[in-house]
Amino acid sequence: MVRRERVTDTRAEEFDLANHRNLTTCLFTVSITVSMLLSASAQVFAAKRPLSLVPLSAQELKMHLIKPNTKASIVAFWATWCQPCLREVPDLIKIQEAQKKNGVQVLLVASDPDNDLDEASSFLAKYKVKFPTYHISEPIDVFMKEFVSDWPTVIPTTLLFNKKGTLEEKWYGRIRMEMLHRRLKQVLNKPPKGPVATKGKVGSH
């Protein structure tokens, strides 16, 4: 009788140990699953999270135009309500990606009202923009007059500056990309201004 009780106790211990192992395995599996779900949720949230548009004044833009190693700046003023802008912005993003190594910077400046900036951010996030983007932090007419005195109140407006921050070209309305590429190339290859050396004639005295 005693021997049978010992066998029964041993089997009970083995049964408890097996249950403990199964429970530990289940808890570990649940923990891994939860971690994977949280990680996936975080990635989805990050993908949908809007980019932050940096407030920009006219004076701050002037400082951006003369940053070290910048040889040309394309400043594009756009808005989410402007259909030509929405078709133009992806091409400007491609220019930034392709020309960054050549000292070109593209500044996308949203002119949307503050309550529409989330929409502007979401639009840029859709194209996975990896460079800083901005929104005008002061009345747009005041802002634009710092660069174009006769600005005709048109969006999109695209301005091309040289490395000294001097305006080289301006376009109102949707720009033809081949025209922008051509003018950009001219600005990048423009020789610096300076005294022109002339050869004098050798004469007899």
Question: Which tens digits make up the pLDDT trace of 53-96?
Answer: 999 999 999 999 999 999 999 999 999 999 999 999 999 999 99
Q: Which residue did the predictor score with more confidence, 74 or 31?
A: 74
pLDDT at 30: 41
At 169-188, the pLDDT tens digits run 999 999 999 999 999 999 99
32-36, 112-116, 164-168: which has the minimum mean pLDDT? 32-36
**What's the first-to-final CA gap in the chain, in angstroms?**
141
* pLDDT over 90 at 121, yes or no: yes
Which residues sit opposite 76 in a β-bridge?
108, 158
Give the pLDDT mean for 96-125. Answer: 95
Q: Where does residue 91 rank: exposed (0-12), middle (13-18), buried (19+ CB within 10 A)?
A: middle
pLDDT at 9: 54
Residues in the chain: 205
**Residues 163-178 as b or e (16 or more Cβ within 10 Å = b):** bebeebbbbeeebeee
* pLDDT over 90 at 105, yes or no: yes
**Rg for the chain, CA atoms, rounded:** 32
Contacts with 100 (C-beta within 8 Å, 6 or more apart), sequence order: 131
pLDDT tier at 190, thresholds 50, 70, 90 = confident
Distance CA 177, CA 66 (A): 24
pLDDT at 7: 44
Q: Evaluate whether 76 touches 144 at the Cβ level (below 8 Å).
A: no
pLDDT at 191: 78
pLDDT at 134: 97
Distance CA 149, CA 135 (A): 20
Give the pLDDT mean for 196-205. Answer: 44
In terms of Cα–Cα distance, which of 133, 97, 129 is closest to 112?
A: 133
* pLDDT over 50 at 40, yes or no: no
Distance CA 110, CA 129 (A): 14
pLDDT tier at 52, thresholds 50, 70, 90 = confident
In terms of Cα–Cα distance, which of 148, 142, 145, 143 is closest to 160?
A: 148
State the chain's mean pLDDT as an integer: 80
